[in-house]
Amino acid sequence: MAPRRRRRPWYRTRAYRLARTLAVAVALVVGGVWWAGDDDPAGTVAAGAVRDDGAASRAPAAGAGHAPDARPGGARGPGRHPSPAARRAAGPAPPHAPLPRSRAASLRIPSLGIDAPVIGLRLDRERRLTAPPVDDPKPVGWYTDGPTPGERGTALVVGHRDTRTGPAVFAPIERIRTGARVEARRVDGRTAVYTVYAVRTYAKAHFPDQEVYGDRGRPELRLITCGGAYDHKAGYAANVIAFAHLTEIRERAGAR
């Protein structure tokens, strides 16, 4: 009489192994889509660069460029949050509620002697953030599809380090110190005052997207310009980024 074959345990069957493999694959795909931010709003910036004509290098990206959460201002979606170390470096939550939308009119950094008009920046056809005019050293550019001054999220301000004629508005940014105040006046007359809590230089080839563009869950500001070594053909090799968060709101003159 032939010996009786023992049935395999259910967890060793071929059907179970196939189902497990499929489940893992689906989980990885879903997780990758979530991380890449495929459901991001149309106004976010695509992978690629701020046009490298003397201002910042790479734009916040939709999934692959400078912001894995693909939300350049953070006010348009939930975003992913930074590490606990990054939150500690940023300091405590601001004592003020975020402001409603009102576009920026001017930007002042008293410690550097900067008092600049603000122009709006949008995306080009490749969904890259543009830069202020290359032949005008005075204005800074505010990404208009991100948060306005004092609004919740991470606002982006781009300025040239130099132009064809000499130094430009953000030439002194490398000298900014933690604790410096950045005053963004709004068209409604109020001023959002940010305090710098970090200044860092990143190689363009290894830009830490999440650390720079990630949503902190509060009003934040990034001042972006070029830095590092300069090559006539390739341009600057790095970006200088000043990180700041909202610490004060000044009401318009005469307001109660």
pLDDT at 124: 85
How many Å apart are CA 158 and CA 54, to the nearest integer? 10
Mean pLDDT of 77-84: 39
More confident residue, 234 or 193: 193
- 104 has which bridge partners? 186
pLDDT at 252: 81
Count other C-beta atoms under 10 Å from residue 253's C-beta. Answer: 6
- 58 has which bridge partners? 49
- Cα dihedral 164, 168, 243, 106, rounded to 10, equals -130
Q: Are 126 and 48 in contact (CB under 8 A)?
A: yes
Mean pLDDT of 196-220: 90
More confident residue, 103 or 33: 103
Residue in 183, 193, 197, 217 with CA at minimum distance from that of residue 90 = 197
Instruction: Give 165's DSSP letter.
Output: T
More confident residue, 246 or 16: 246
| pLDDT above 80: residue 122 | yes
190 phi and psi angles, rounded to 5 deg: -80, 160
Confidence category of residue 154, pLDDT binned at 50, 70, 90: very high
pLDDT at 215: 87
pLDDT at 235: 86
Q: Are 196 and 242 in contact (CB under 8 A)?
A: yes
Residue in 69, 88, 64 with CA at minimum distance from that of residue 80 = 69
- Between the two ends of the chain, the Cα-to-Cα distance in Å is 100
How many Å apart are CA 208 and CA 10, to the nearest integer? 46
pLDDT at 161: 94
How many Å apart are CA 245 and CA 239, to the nearest integer? 19
Confidence category of residue 30, pLDDT binned at 50, 70, 90: very low
pLDDT at 221: 97
| pLDDT above 90: residue 205 | no
| pLDDT above 60: residue 201 | yes
| pLDDT above 60: residue 101 | yes
| pLDDT above 70: residue 13 | no
Q: Are 111 and 181 in contact (CB under 8 A)?
A: yes
| pLDDT above 80: residue 93 | no
- 161 has which bridge partners? none
Mean pLDDT of 22-31: 39
Residue listed under structure tokens 């074959």 = 5
Instruction: Give the predicted TM-score (pTM) of the model.
Output: 0.67
pLDDT at 223: 97
Share of the chain above pLDDT 90, in %: 43
How many Å apart are CA 196 and CA 222, to the nearest integer? 9
Confidence category of residue 1, pLDDT binned at 50, 70, 90: low
Average pLDDT, the chain: 74
Q: Which two tokens stand for residue 112?
A: 């550097």
